[in-house]
Structure 1
Amino acid sequence: MRRSERKKTDPDLGIMAGQMLFAVQREMFETLALHGHPHLRPRHGAVLAYLDEEGSRATDLSQQSGQHKQVIGTLVDELVELGYVRREPDPQDRRAKLIVPTPLGLDEMRRSDAIVADIERRHAEAVGEDVYTVFKQAFRQIVHLQRTHPPASAD
């Protein structure tokens, strides 16, 4: 059997995770565009998916998303230009800045949370609440294991 055929009939974890990510992103950003957010792109999720209403530090966004701090800085610049966030001094640390959502950013956050909740509700209805709960618990554990696994050494 050709590799491409095997990947179609028995996809590995990476392929399934990628297919799920791309399908969720497509639904998310198409729906957001219909509701007043046409300029957002999936890459902006590295900031917006983790942003707290009261603001977040770029280093925290970097850690949570798994993106380099420089990438987060570039994305924040784009989101500032688009009107979704602003930078403010961090009251806890004068050297740091908080990335704070604007009213437009808060609207996007509320809508994206609702979209994801709708997607999850749809999946839970399709496979059953109990099965979906067990799936999420197992998937959360697998994600943690993968994120904490040390990289292979180049021998």
Structure 2
Amino acid sequence: MSRDHQQDVTPGYELPLRLLLAFRTIIDELHERLAGEGHPELRPMHGFVFQAIGPDGTTAVELGRRLGVSKQAAGKTVEQLERLGYVERGSDPADARRKVVRLTARGVDCLVRSARIFEELRREWVGQLGGEEELRGLEDALRVLAPGDPFRLDTPRWLGTT
């Protein structure tokens, strides 16, 4: 292999780092915009928690299972989000002994704003890449490289953040 050709070869470790950097870039921008819209205390892990709670709520035990963390870690996160006004705990109408964690209006507002901001960021990336076709090609390539469910709720456990 010629010396010039060696310089053109991207090292194997760069791909996962670029993918992680792209993730960080879009998530950091999301949180900067959310902060500007009244949600400055949210962290990336909270989005996973909101999704795991879902529209019908869940128990702390089930939340921990969905996130791949202990009941205690899930409970601690719920306490933090409860203090911030994003979730509330209440009785399950079907079983008063069970405590269910639900999103508050503030939590739902955050999800609605996040969805809108993600769409804005995607449109910006379309512009940066030169058009919808270019971004769609990137998304299609990533679906080939990383097939399956794109939203793994147990990512906080994998990252070791809870």
TM range (shorter): 0.5 to 0.7
Q: What RMSD in Å do the two structures reach over aligned CA positions?
A: 3.1
Are the aligned partners of 1:57 and 1:96 in contact in 2 as well (CA < 8 Å)?
A: yes
- What's the counterpart of residue 32 of structure 1? 34
- What's the counterpart of residue 116 of structure 1? 118
Query: Which blocks of at least 5 consecutive residues in structure 2 are unaligned?
Result: 1-9, 127-131, 155-162
Q: One-letter code of the match for 1:99?
A: V
Greater RCO structure (CA 8 Å; 6+ sep): 2
- What's the counterpart of residue 88 of structure 1? 90
Rounded to whole Å, the distance in 2 between the matches of 1:66 and 1:75 is 13
Rounded to whole Å, the distance in 1 between the matches of 2:64 and 2:114 is 20
- What's the counterpart of residue 136 of structure 2? 129
Rounded to whole Å, the distance in 1 between the matches of 2:94 and 2:144 is 34
Change (3 A) 1:27 1:50: farther
* CA positional deviation for 1:120: 4.0
Higher-Rg member (1/2): 2
Rounded to whole Å, the distance in 1 between the matches of 2:95 and 2:15 is 41
Aligned length: 138
Rounded to whole Å, the distance in 2 between the matches of 1:117 and 1:55 is 25
Query: Which blocks of at least 5 consecutive residues in structure 1 are unaligned?
Result: 1-7, 148-155
Change (3 A) 1:38 1:142: closer
